[in-house]
Amino acid sequence: MNASFRAYVDQLRDVHKDSRVYKFSYQGRDFWLKQPEKLSGIWLLLKPNPKQSFINELHVLLDLARQQAPVPNVVYYGDDFFVLEDAGFSISHWMDEPALSQAQKFRILSDAAQALIDLHQRGLVHGRPAVRDITWNNGKITFLDFESRSNSQNNDWLITRDTLFFFNSLCREDSISDRLITEIVTYYQAHCNGRNWAIMINYLTRFRWLYYLFFPFKPFAKKDLIAIYRLFELIH
């Protein structure tokens, strides 16, 4: 980007220095300014090194962009900030759109599922591919937020983790019906690597006892626990 854009971003950084994420427009285009989290209290223990997580995410984005992965375009960055070109609305936003038919929702979710499958087939992983961190824009999928990547070298586990995060995020959305989730599960199973699917199912089977352990609490469950119930009930 040109010097005028960079100067404008630097001004925004001064004004919004405490904002982790800030959306802005420049010459008719939308962008996102992202900076390290400013933590306090218990979060200093739960997230002890937000600056390093931020740097790691930037490096991951730049590396994946070089590999032509479906990630947002980093247009300007420094040691403690980067600017992303807007990639459209999140899938969570689309799922909450009352005008969308079930067929349209299936198209959006199947596009996301296929993009995740393609990512894995290229030997890449996301870390937390939740639908709130995936955008859809006229068929184009973009993955956001790479701060939760694991340091594990076990690629089978990383792909399983990605897949379960994706399905669990579907189960957390009240606007996505059980039937639609089942259709996306069926699509994913039909198009993904069969070995990866078998490993994921084996992992779920090993921990299915948790479902029966917590089942008596289902009438009182909150959103996160309900999502786990749906995950075990809808994926076999």
**Model pTM?**
0.85
CA 37 to chain centroid: 18
* Domains, the chain: 3-85 (3.30.200), 91-234 (1.10.510)
Kindly report, residue by residue over 94-138, the tens digit of the pLDDT: 999 999 999 999 999 999 999 999 999 998 898 889 999 999 999
CB atoms within 10 A of CB 36: 17
Beta-carbon contacts of residue 96 (< 8 Å; ≥ 6 apart): 175
Kindly report, residue by residue over 169-213, the tens digit of the pLDDT: 999 999 999 999 999 999 999 999 999 999 999 999 998 888 888
